[in-house]
């Protein structure tokens, strides 16, 4: 017969167990934070493709994907694998919460690879897109929208200073030659990349909350915003200026829409706002855009692009269901086979045409529908806090700028380029109900962990 003395343990041993478990949780949380931060920032860096010594004339034939960029991409494989081992339950829940439309698009992608003209090239592109999707999405699922956008802002601040310093130190690489002589591209491969990246990050850096007192971080934020405006002007990117104007208007217009009560009424206001925005863009803004383009020595007729599109549209109808192969028409050598122009067209200059060529018309319609549905859902949502409301505005702006920019630029969606991590984060709809299934990582993280 046992007595109370049989289960006796010294007081020190009784206290040692909970303390050891607490220390283990702290060490584990620190490891996860470091690991996810590394995955997150490597994904952002690899997507931008920024590197030293990229050619000032993009027609020189130098590879757009230097070895350091390949190593960065491959480094994500063991890092993401390690995180999946540390938190398998969260990863499984993340996969289960994916939209059915995303699942259908994935099936269409695999179908396009099966019928691809170059299966190897399509598989390589799929791996790159998957890795650059997983990194930002895992970070977003772990720490919530507000914390993720703050981390994005830190990367944007660093990138602004890096590109200015790079341009000043290495103008022979940062200032373009050839047909784009004098236009600044910074550490990017092309000046249009710098322009789009700068316009989006300017919106991203808009103050999240009213500033009651000025901090050093706020000074850095405002300085980075000013530098991005300078970079847009130096790049002579008329598209970036138009996107910036639309983005700022939508950002502050969203604050007006979020004040209306009731989701149905907000949906009506959003529909009205879209109609008004379309009218303004088609009537008033086009005149301003033309003036801006003329100041840069350009025009908005899109004559060069339409010549490319006229040659590519018949190819869509040759393979309307499966396309020619995922990511195939992002390859310059493929473009050279099917497009004959006096100038060297290395891309489709239209993301929607590119998607239809790569994976077929049905997949393009489904993917675009998914993006538009997410955009409207975020515009009509009711955020739980002011910080989350402002984050929602930035998500809406990013998605809208991607949808608009996709009409004149290639690789804006489902491609391992520039703003894809931003797009993944903005499209994510993981809310408090997802984050509440798991223990909050830290007290600070609990305050920010929301959809």
Read off the pLDDT of residues 141-192 as tens digits, 9 standing for 90 and up.
Answer: 999 899 999 999 999 999 999 999 999 999 999 999 888 889 999 999 889 8
pLDDT for 441:
46
Residue with token string 């969606």: 413
Short-list 223, 267, 258, 198, CA closest to 405 = 198
Rg of the Cα atoms in the chain? 24
- In angstroms, the Cα distances linking 352 to 289, 321, 381, 434 are 22, 15, 27, 32
pLDDT for 449:
43
pLDDT for 11:
53
pLDDT for 293:
59
- pLDDT under 50: residue ranges of the chain: 1-2, 5, 13, 342, 441-450
pTM reported for the whole predicted model: 0.85
């Amino acid at each position: 017969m046992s007595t109370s003395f049989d289960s006796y343990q010294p007081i020190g041993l009784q206290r040692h167990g909970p303390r050891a478990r607490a220390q283990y949780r702290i060490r584990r949380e620190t490891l996860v934070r470091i690991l996810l931060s590394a995955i997150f920032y490597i994904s952002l860096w690899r997507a931008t493709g920024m590197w030293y010594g990229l050619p000032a004339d993009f027609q020189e034939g130098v590879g757009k994907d230097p070895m350091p960029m390949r190593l960065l991409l491959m480094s994500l494989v063991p890092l993401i694998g390690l995180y999946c081992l540390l938190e398998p339950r969260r990863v499984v829940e993340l996969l289960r919460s994916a939209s059915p439309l995303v699942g259908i698009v994935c099936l269409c992608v695999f179908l396009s690879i099966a019928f691809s003209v170059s299966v190897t090239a399509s598989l390589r592109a799929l791996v790159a897109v998957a890795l650059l999707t997983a990194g930002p999405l895992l970070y977003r699922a772990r720490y919530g929208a507000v914390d993720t956008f703050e981390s994005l802002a830190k990367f944007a601040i660093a990138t602004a200073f890096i590109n200015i310093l790079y341009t000043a130190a290495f103008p022979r690489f940062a200032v373009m030659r050839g047909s784009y002589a004098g236009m600044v591209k910074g550490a990017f491969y092309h000046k249009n990349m710098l322009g789009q990246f700068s316009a989006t990050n300017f919106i991203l850096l808009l103050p999240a909350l009213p500033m009651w007192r000025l901090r050093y971080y706020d000074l850095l934020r405002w300085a980075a915003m000013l530098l991005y405006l300078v970079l847009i002007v130096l790049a002579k990117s008329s598209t970036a200026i138009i996107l910036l104007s639309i983005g700022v208007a939508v950002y502050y217009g969203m604050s007006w829409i979020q004040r209306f009560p009731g989701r149905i009424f907000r949906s009506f206001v959003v529909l009205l706002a879209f109609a008004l925005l379309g009218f303004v863009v088609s009537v008033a803004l086009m005149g301003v855009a033309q003036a801006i383009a003329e100041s840069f020595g350009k025009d908005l007729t899109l004559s060069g692009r339409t010549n490319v599109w006229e040659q590519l549209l018949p190819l869509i109808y040759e393979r309307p269901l499966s396309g020619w192969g995922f990511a195939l028409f992002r390859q310059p050598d493929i473009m050279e086979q099917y497009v004959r122009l006096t100038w060297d067209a290395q891309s489709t200059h239209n993301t929607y045409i590119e998607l239809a060529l790569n994976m077929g018309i049905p997949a393009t319609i489904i993917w675009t529908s998914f993006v538009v549905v997410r955009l409207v859902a975020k515009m009509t949502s009711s955020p739980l806090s002011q910080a989350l409301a402002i984050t929602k505005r930035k998500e809406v702006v990013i998605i809208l700028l991607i949808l608009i920019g996709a009409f004149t630029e290639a690789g804006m969606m489902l491609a391992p380029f520039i703003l894809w991590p931003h797009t993944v984060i903005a499209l994510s709809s993981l809310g408090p109900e997802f984050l509440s299934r798991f223990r909050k990582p830290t007290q600070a993280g609990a305050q920010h962990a929301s959809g």
